[in-house]
Structure 1
């Protein structure tokens, strides 16, 4: 998704895409959170 262009985003969001910059920022935040989560040992993770 990091390499999606405007056409790809349009298709993904059924013709109502978010701004590309905001989408990329949200995607980066998600990926950063995944990296941080992987640092927590499985037995110490808490699930809601």
Structure 2
């Protein structure tokens, strides 16, 4: 039985609810497309990293 799962979602651009649901998966999720959503996730994670690094 494979350990990977793939999901296809449709979302509204700027819908914070989608981002919150993806964050709930933590390190178990990777956003591949669309690139703007991937960039948003990366940007948010970088901000969190900097906050907790200090």
Question: Which TM-score applies when normalising by structure 2?
Answer: 0.39
Greater RCO (CA < 8 Å, at least 6 residues apart): 1
Q: TM-score, normalised by structure 1?
A: 0.44
User: Larger Rg: 1 or 2?
Assistant: 1
